[in-house]
Chains A and B, each alone.
Chain A
Amino acid sequence: MAKTKPKKPGAKTGLLLRLYVAGNAPNSLRAVANATAICEEYLTARYELEVIDLLKHPNRALADGIIVTPTLLRLRPLPVQRVIGNLSDTNQVLLTLAGQ
């Protein structure tokens, strides 16, 4: 799976998201689709969405403290926020992304 999918490349100030998935597992595929859709539909500001395959990069997952996939991390702005699961609950995803 592609490492990064910068929607608006070069931005260092926008929203930084990182989605951990496990290969082509069903919930992972769903999570990627949901994340992309939510970003395109709701995020007007600049954002960057990085998708990382746990199976290829287990150490990065460990470094990010990932226990299960799919997990979506909001790395910027701080504090780091996490959404766990396949991201089918759009409201919850948006709430977390907007969280302080």
Chain B
Amino acid sequence: MFLLAMRSLRQRPGRFAGTLLAAFLGAAITMTFNSLHDTAAAPGIDDASAETLNLSGGVVGGYGTLLVFFAIASTLTVTVRQREEEMELLRRTGATPRQLGRMVVGEAAVVALAATVLAILPAMLGGRVLLGMFHDSGQVARDVDYAFGPIALSAGFGVTLLASVGAAFLAVRRATRAGRRAPRTRLRALGGALALLGGAAGVSTTFALDATDPILMAPAAEGAILLSIGLAAFSPALLRALLACLGRPFAALAGPSGYLAVLNLRRNAARLAGILMPLVLFTGIATATLCMQAVESDAIEASGLTKSVEDKNMETLNLIVVGIIVVFACVMLINSLYAATAYRVREFGRQRLTGATPRQVIGMVGAEATLLTVTGVLLGTAAGLAGLVPFTLVRADEALPGQAPWIWLGIVAVAVAATVVTAVATARRGLRVPAVAAVAVAA
């Protein structure tokens, strides 16, 4: 089975690009921040420097590990689902679920190892940049030298490998035990409800804090993140509700392509979670954090003070964390959407044989992407605002900062571009296959 895993990796390297990228980013980030622990562990380092380094090293730690896990899990689930046919064939030729599991887990482990090795150099560079930042701000003494050592390496390999193998194990278990959907949906609903509760609590805490409290931003930002996660969990249901209201008028306006798009989305809503979730997370988290940062900067400026070094560091770290989350969400979004669209070549073929022109098929994919983006952006914006408005009220005594619409438009532009461009470009490629060949078996 391990040989089989290696062979399938060699033959279809493109299929693992998404997982490789997710694992690479994850390993690079984990090692970058953990190398700060290595640096802090050097002998003769003063206490203040060590504390700063260890604190910063830990900032991304928890979130980072969780994100790496989700990103790898999402890309792997897509790869496994794409290969359902191949796995079915292997099973019919006598492979046991255990053997299939070993194959997929083996592949994931190899990909994770390769990704981590590739990530070592970028992580070293990233760590150096971080340390340089601390040198400049004076938070770490100039004579502290950068070190990349056992802590970074073991965290990088450990987190990436564990996340990959765990995610592969779960993905394959799900795939080989078809027909047991209900518990998963219930689990997701439970998780979503908990996240919503936690988020609401975090956001409410904001009102109990003082306008100049240094930790004012934390509960609001984390509340927005949790609300995004909660709404993301319920996004398929909300998509269905949206289609129930807007489906008919949309189909009437958008013609045959819109008609097909609405039907496809309505009947596949559950499967679209993998695309909607990163969209909601991306919009919600980016809106909340970027706008809050703008409010904070304005407030400091308005009070007549200049930004302290710590304020600046806080801002940079904030932006780094958001950047990481946003990049991961984008990778997940593009990967899921690419895979889902590439998988539909046969369906496109059937539509063309029924009389759809290539332009109508592209129009359908574009309409689906648009509806998905609208749903994701609506939910994400709701979560983002829920965190942002209380923070702005307490900090600046207004409901929304003036820059909010512009920041929001920028975020939406990125979301629309990522979704629509990925879907349409992938569909366009799928249309190059002649329709008759596209519907033939084993295309």
Real complex partners, A and B? no
